[in-house]
A and B are shown apart, each in its own frame.
Chain A
Amino acid sequence: MLCQSCEKRQATTHIKTIVNGELKEFMLCPECAGKLGYGSFFSSFGPDLDRLYGGFMDSYTPQVTGKRCPFCGSSFEDIANSGRVGCARCYEIFEDELMPSLQRIHGRTTHTGKLAASAGEAVKVQSEIDACRRELENAIKTQEFEKAARLRDKIRELEKKAAEQGEE
């Protein structure tokens, strides 16, 4: 289907929006979608996956590309075609295939934000160390040396804890 905005390029992005009290759906090409402010997902993810997928087809037999997630049954082809990951486990199963795209979309590949309750002990300690380091930098900048000393001690303690965890 052709893009409904420029009517020239192939449409890949499905947009849903409310116009005058009614739900309207339309299809856009990556370029127009980008111009209109609808996500950079397909422009950064799509071509990359196309290439990856093309690569599979060249060098592997169909059985190899037939790898599927044991939990939800998604193949990487399903994910690449729809732009949607099937389930949480897919991220492990297709880690190698997804990583280049994540790098392209976000510029980075490691989470540094909030931790869920289910996060591992090691990342929890590491995240606390990182937070203390940031606070320490600020304390030094604002010349709060007592606070800085306290933070340094705390970081040492946490690092010891992290090292012990590593040994276990």
Chain B
Amino acid sequence: MLNERTEPLKDVSDVVISTRIRFARNLQDYEFPCRLSVEKKCRVAATVKAAALGNPEYSSRFRYISMSELTQEEAVSLVERHLVSPEFISDRQGRGLLLMDNESVSIMINEEDHVRIQVIRPDLDLEGAFEIANKFDDMLDEQLGFAFSDRLGYLTQCPTNIGTGMRASLLLHLPALRESGAMGKISASLGKLGFTIRGMYGDSNDPKGAVYQLSNQVTLGISEKEAIDNLRDITMQLVVQERNAREAMSQNITVLDGLYRSFGILRYAKILTNDECWKLLSDLRFGVEIGIFENIDYDTINRLMIEVQPATLMKNIGKKLPALERERIRAELIRTAIARPKVPANRRLE
């Protein structure tokens, strides 16, 4: 099912939400983070920070964040916005983050490796994201001299990342494949081909919405380009399968009824819990994808999917809120965004 080559499709924004490329890199003269004291971690952070901010082209564009100085909400919000990993905020001592002004590039210091360069782009843009990550990698390598072996490539704390140290991931919306019960089978066959797919938000086996993250697993003995090409090929096949499943479902009255009901709740509810909201936004996107809800664009939904999450919601409001108040504001954010046709993507609720 997943081994023939598929011609690249032009616009796949109905399925692909965003693209992420991440490089794992380490300094030669320090133990890997699992064996570093907090004091040494701070030295690594200072060294990487100086290398990045010392570059005149980027010094004004990067903001350095010492992770231990953030409030819990600020830290969690970074995860909700996909800028750092959950692991990164679990113990923030000695960890630092370099964040580019538009948040498209984040460099985690002392996560599982000394340096994790991460680039996020909207839609499907593996080459674009790779090019940017590659540029920052070259710049930092020149100054820091990353740990590298001619035989094994970039050396990483976890042997699963050795070689290219590159993980390419795509955030996919697969409501029809999920609804048809095909995800288990797909996940198993992707696993055999060296990819991994898991649900985002909630239990990853039975996620709240139908948003999945697809990534490459193999990093040794495969070039970055091959890994990216393979990921794109597989994604194209998933897109075709998802679209076929959507087509088959778009006439199903039970499915349609469910989507209209979800739309009704989003449009009129006064309070929304995070979990419920996730499922409803996934349904909203599904409805837009099969053309039953008009005047709502993907950008708006993608933005809402992040802004309604608890820590990001509180960060944007600027204070800690009790659950009920968050649920009220969440419902209001959504009503405002979908009540009127075409809310501009940059419009924020004040």
Q: Is A64 an interface residue (CB 8 A)?
A: no
Please name 14 pairs of A and B residues whose Cβ atoms are closer than 8 Å in the assembled complex, sorted by A.
A16-B85, A18-B80, A37-B213, A40-B196, A85-B158, A107-B194, A110-B221, A113-B164, A113-B166, A116-B148, A116-B154, A117-B142, A118-B28, A119-B150
- Which residue of chain B lies nearest to A74 when distances are taken between CB atoms in the complex? B35
List, in ascending order, chain B residues with CB within 8 A of A106's CB. Answer: 162-163, 218-222
A contact patch SS: loop
Q: Is A164 an interface residue (CB 8 A)?
A: no
List, in ascending order, chain B residues with CB within 8 A of A65's CB. Answer: none
List, in ascending order, chain A residues with CB within 8 A of B205's CB. Answer: 35-36
- The contact of B145 among A18, A107, A118, by CB within 8 Å, is A118
Q: How far is the CA of A35 from the CA of B142 in the complex (A)?
A: 40
The answer on a CB contact under 8 Å between B197 and A37 is yes
Q: Is B13 an interface residue (CB 8 A)?
A: no
B contact patch SS: mixed
The answer on a CB contact under 8 Å between A108 and B222 is yes
Q: How far is the CA of A37 from the CA of B227 in the complex (A)?
A: 19
How many Å from the CB of A1 to the closest CB on chain B?
18
Residue tally, chain A, CB below 8 Å to B: 52
The answer on a CB contact under 8 Å between A21 and B76 is yes
List, in ascending order, chain B residues with CB within 8 A of A47's CB. Answer: none
Q: How far is the CA of A102 from the CA of B220 in the complex (A)?
A: 8
Scan A93-135; emit 1 where CB is below 8 A from any B CB, else 0.
0000010011001111111111111111011000000000000
CB within 8 Å: A-B pair count: 177
Q: How far is the CA of A44 from the CA of B35 in the complex (A)?
A: 24
- Which residue of chain B lies nearest to A121 when distances are taken between CB atoms in the complex? B150
The answer on a CB contact under 8 Å between B86 and A17 is yes
How many Å from the CB of B73 to the closest CB on chain A?
8
- The contact of A88 among B26, B90, B160, by CB within 8 Å, is B26
Q: How far is the CA of A45 from the CA of B223 in the complex (A)?
A: 22
- The contact of B159 among A21, A85, A88, A112, by CB within 8 Å, is A85
The answer on a CB contact under 8 Å between B275 and A20 is yes
Q: How far is the CA of A23 from the CA of B80 in the complex (A)?
A: 11
- Which residue of chain A lies nearest to B90 when distances are taken between CB atoms in the complex? A16
Q: Is B265 an interface residue (CB 8 A)?
A: no
Q: How far is the CA of A17 from the CA of B87 in the complex (A)?
A: 7
Told that A116-B145, A119-B150 touch, could you supply 17 new A-B pairs with CB distance under 8 A? A18-B80, A23-B86, A25-B90, A36-B203, A40-B160, A40-B191, A85-B155, A88-B28, A91-B149, A98-B159, A102-B152, A106-B219, A106-B220, A108-B218, A111-B149, A111-B153, A111-B220
